[in-house]
Structure 1
Amino acid sequence: MDLDAACTALAAALAGTGPAIELAPDGTPVPVHAPGLAAGTAAVVRTSGSTGTPKATMLGRDALAASSAATAARLGGEGQWLLTLSPNYVAGLQVLARSVHAGTRPVVTDLSARFTAAGFTEAAAGLTHRFRITSLVPTQLHRLLADPAGDTVKALRRFDAILLGGARAPQELLAASRWHGLKLVRTYGMSETCGGCVYDGVPLDGVRVRLDAGRVVIGGAVLASGYLDNAELTAAHFGRGPDGTAWFRTEDMGELNGGVLTVTGRADDVLITGGVKVSAAAVAAAIEAVPGVDAVLVAGVADPEWGTQVACAVVGSAPAEQIRAAVRAELGPAAAPRTILALDELPLLSNGKPDRLAVARMLQAAAG
């Protein structure tokens, strides 16, 4: 990755002295001059497409600055970042943007190779700043803690903050992180909110969260300007309240308790099997609690008798019948997965998130 070229182009875009850019997976900056580009746009980021068609999200200079400032305020300072995620997605881009705002030079893992504990540990050794931060997805943290070497644990403990987001984090992984004394910060956000904007359930300064019929709606200065050349989709998700606050309607369902947000699942994750509604997120949570389960992804597959049957891909050593029994006891017989596909690891997108569409196709094939 040409770090200097990426950071130089991004710094110019953030300062308004250069064109808006889109970063390629290898970090190559590509100027964006589309007719529908919103004024003040610094970067265009395409959503991962893990559940549908990718969208081009326009991130403004002011929104990225607000996000960086709020992140630094919550973490207790600015510092040096370790980049482990592809810069063409928002989590990777934000590592570079926050570094530009902080005036520090990030260290980059080998993004062209498979993420490994050895590669992470070697890259972390190149950090020189007193205050150190990185951003990981659960799959990466799992690989680091599956059978950790002493040097890897030492490197992880040296971070003042390890942001963890992008996907559901199993309780077993969170427990292992606590056992090793890691300074983990669970983040929630998406491309449309300049990445993580809720840390450990609490919105960053300047970020507002409310629920609309259980749907998570996020407001504040960190919001994107909309989707490039897609006015209809922009109007469906973005808007302003009577007080001028910008709001974004997410695809997630959640609960608010004392100002703390808990995301309970996607709005479209309810599976109807034999006329019974089943939450895919609840099934995943029940399976994650089974000893020997390292990772899981739940999806619905077409079934001629039931309409939809509950299916799951599981990484780990837990027996299928033990998984079914645990879900049956927790959620009832309708929620017990009829198809359980054992995998060595979940297929991933280039941003480290599970490839839900690929898994759904594998489950449909396995169900017959």
Structure 2
Amino acid sequence: MAGQAGETRPVRLGLACTGWIAEWAVHQPIRDGSPATVAFVASRDPARARAYAAERAIPASGAWPDLLDRPDVDAVYVATPNAGHLRLALEAVRAGKHVLCEKPLGHDPGAVAELCAEARRRRVLVREAYHYRAHPALAGVLAALRGGAVGEVRRVEVHYGWPLERADDVRLSAELDGGALMDVGCYGLDLVRRLTPALPEVTGVRARTGPTGVDLTAEVRLRSGPVRARVWASLRSPAFVCDARVTGTEGSLGLSSPFLPVLPGPEATRLFRARWGPGTRAPAPREGPFTSYRYQLDAFARDVAAGEYGAGEGIADQARLLGQVRERMRGAR
């Protein structure tokens, strides 16, 4: 990745998507200054890829195998429907490409472990795009909680839901791994996992299944040592809701919009708020003017340039937890 002395060449990305999320996760961050460029876009429909490339001045387009063969692509951004994430990520790793994959990467622990091993073997970096973690405000709060700001954590409550109205949306497809858990519930599981002493145990699952076979609303109860947690997720919430509450032995914390701290768009809107309860050792707030997607792409590009590689145990743990919840969910239907 080295250019002239003291410089770092931007990471050259290939997009495995032509959907809206790439605007938030890739195009806007690059316009705002992330050290990356888009060299190629792939789609199952070559005409769609060509149109997408022309609209966004991307130099080349084609099919997925073409992307993997491109020497001018350093890394791949995967944002297909959920069912394709793990397969495409593994193929990209085997082709020697770094991977930034939209969440959730997968729910098959064995297959995810294979991906992690392959990433180490090929010396490429794999990141699962839980973008909220990258924002300085959220990173500061998580660090404070782990450092005892509310004492020892005892309870975590997470609610994330919104009203999905499009009947043909991919989130409603069982074949494409849709459903509330996979769309928004996975964020809550990720947050709980980061605040518990060990991988949580799933103690209960309730779900309301729609006519297409996916969970429209899900509630997951978890336990990890002395910590109890509940994650609620919905695609049928009457209105948008995104909040969390953490209670400890010495205080509490309420979080507003933890998973979308700054709303992307021409005029970025800050949504995140942290409300520390009495008795807490609240840290000084950490600000950040950009979206969490911008910070995520910055970190990914920086780590690729620095030669970081592997996938990290967090990816495998998240897959194990998602797999446990989905297994319990099948039994609850």
> For this structure pair, what is the TM-score category when the shorter chain's length is used for normalisation?
0.3 to 0.5
TM-score, normalization: structure 1? 0.33
- Max radius of gyration: which structure? 1
TM-score under structure 2 length normalisation: 0.36
